Structure 1
């Protein structure tokens, strides 16, 4: 009787998951992330899941997560990019030199409202052009992507060094630094407003997806299952915002801001940081990349080419130009990541982006992107980046030295690929 009861409970859970149409792989990643958080929270006596550490973990994840979304497209098309960390460094150096030397030499004073926008545009264009150049070498000259980007890893890291003469460049423009994390946040009220909008948008997206399935006469979930998904989405969004709002701005920082306005800070006044602007940038990138992957011809061509390159070319897809576009997107995202990374530090340093190649590829693979091509998700890559950063942050808090942290990260990457192979064999996707 006990076995029958246990079997019935297991079957019930499977039926619920099937009804809700949860991705079992995604659930596995979420479960792994929760396990990592619980273990490190115990090992650090509750310090790992404090609002302060969650806030820091979030802003530390952004730059790698942004690049991981682009790496999904690269790997899906059966390519690889080993140069992303070095390209980040070059774009960061270009943006830093633009705002500290080039624009001031042209008569645009430091502190001008033009400094940050112009520097960002120059960085994005540079990243896109370099990425497109990589894609041209791969797509039109048929040089293997491994070789092209391995060369890029060496070339662009040292180009960044020569651009700055090996010096640290800073401080960067104040407006530029707003996209770094702690220096630019929405505050409590703005974060709650954003959260409300996000909850409505998530519910609308779920409902529209249901209507689309009905319109195409596809099977749909029961109404209660749709509302459960809406409730889970709302709980995750609002819970995340509540955690960030719970991290209070230090009283001395608040006092200085009141003094700057010629006011006196009220006794007992507190204020939370809220959502960092860099996280908003990551959310925007995630939404745009997801729409590109699911709703555009470019996205369909990317996944079709990854699934079967020969069939894609025979069907009329210009796979060479597609390769150029994919690497150009990767270059732009490296520039965005360089913007966030240097803005968070408030200066450009020579070691910025070091080993990000490992972290970005690992994030994409851990997030479910198949190295064989054709399969991958944007949200999976972002979750993979969060898992990677959680591991590194947790190990640092416990006192694990840097070499062993890299050993663990390397081991996790190999394990993730092994799990991916086993999963696809069992599900018939191999």
Structure 2
């Protein structure tokens, strides 16, 4: 985690130097924040999918299918956005039950099932609207994508930042109290305060940057984009699920040793199904954010998204062999991927070269993961 954070810092500094300071501009950082949200949302659940020794190659196609369906219902069928979103969720759940059942109960490898899904649901995204773009005009729905009115404003951003900082301080104090209650040695108070200052500085710095960006022609600054809030809420929920629930422990036990997990009574098949259903929910959320940001649903929505999501997950430290990974790692991985892509765009790197570099970054991350595990003796 520390190394990945260092890599992120180095990447951003290099791109800022090469772009003559444009990379660290408030506008570019705001765009990076909102653009990362879709991949970041999907990466949080992909962590658990890969930890459990599965993979989903169809996540981009399913997101495109669900997104186009929602946009089609809103534009062509004149549905309200709540009903359209619920219909999209129902479609995503149907897909998850189909692919999850084949994986969990029939025993077909998830790689094969979702590879077929990658092609099938890309076709379904085209068939839903006959390949036609479905524009979206609902003012409230468009806010979810972080566009012109897609920020929460400066005052709300500062308040939210202060609340998060208070939460960090409270968590630090609660941890110290819990250790003392059970006679567990604690760090010196100064050290814990310094450690708590790191996320506080990051949060307040982020809020300051978001509040510094103002769209030309608009009276107020943007503040924190709504897609980032959605991503943050999803990441917090997933982190809670991993650390505080039986389901999260079951997933990691399955990834560590599926046979042993079954022998000790863990319902492996049911947990696998629940994983795919959770993926359906987050895929729907990502689709909503994506079509809101683009102001339309198109059959090309989500193209190659599965590769970016898997790359972000692996770069964030999730082992492809399963058994280990963190939600915070997926956040860092998504940021690294987006910073690399945005930096190359600023430098006017061709799309072909960008794909080559991103692919090699993924390979380098896997090589590093394998080398690190061999060095530490944690070979899976």
TM-score scaled by length of structure 1: 0.86
CA offset at residue 217 of structure 1? 4.4
Q: Describe the SS at the equivalent of 1:47.
A: coil
Q: How many residues align?
A: 378
Task: Provide structure 1 residue ranges, at least 5 long, that are not aligned to the other structure.
Answer: 1-25, 109-114, 255-270
Native 8 Å contact 1:169 1:348 kept in 2: yes
Higher mean alpha-carbon deviation, 207-216 vs 230-239, is at 207-216
CA RMSD, Structure 1 to Structure 2 (Å): 1.3
* 3-state SS of paired residue (1:140): helix
Matches within 5 A, 1:132-211: 132-182=97-147, 183-211=149-177
Whether the 8 Å contact between 1:131 and 1:332 is mirrored in structure 2 is: no
Alignment partners' CA distance in 2, 1:138 and 1:213: 42
Which structure has the bigger radius of gyration? 1
Distance 2:133 2:323 in 1: 41
Per-residue deviation, 1:97: 1.6
CA distance in 1, matches of 2:249, 2:162: 32
Tell me, what secondary structure is at the counterpart of 1:195?
helix
Taking a change above 3 Å as real, the CA distance of residues 320 and 179 of structure 1, as seen in their structure-2 partners, is same
Q: 8 Å contact 1:125–1:332 — kept in the other structure?
A: no
Given the two structures, how large is their TM-score scaled by the length of structure 2?
0.97
Deviation at 1:213, TM superposition (A): 3.7
Q: Does 1:70 align with 2:45?
A: yes
Offset of 1:215 from its aligned partner?
Answer: 4.0
Q: Distance in 2 between matches of 1:281 and 1:30?
A: 22
Using the TM superposition, give the Cα deviation of residue 331 of structure 1 relative to its aligned residue in structure 2, in angstroms: 1.7
> Residue 391 of structure 1 aligns with which residue?
340
Structure 2 gaps, min length 5: none
Distance 1:164 1:377 in 2: 38
* Cα distance, 1:233 vs structure 2: 1.5
The partner residue of 1:81 within 40, 46, 56 is 56
Further displaced range: 305-314 or 217-226: 217-226
Partner of 1:260: none
Deviation at 1:181, TM superposition (A): 1.1
Alignment map for 1:253-272 (pairs within 5 Å): 253-254=218-219, 271-272=220-221
Q: Distance in 2 between matches of 1:233 and 1:405?
A: 31
Q: CA deviation at 1:176?
A: 1.2
1:34 aligned residue: 9
TM-superposed deviation, 1:417 = 0.5
Paired position in structure 1 for 2:226 = 277
> 1:132 touches 1:331 (CA, 8 Å); kept in 2?
no
The 1:395/1:142 distance shift into structure 2, 3 A limit, reads same
Q: CA deviation at 1:216?
A: 4.5
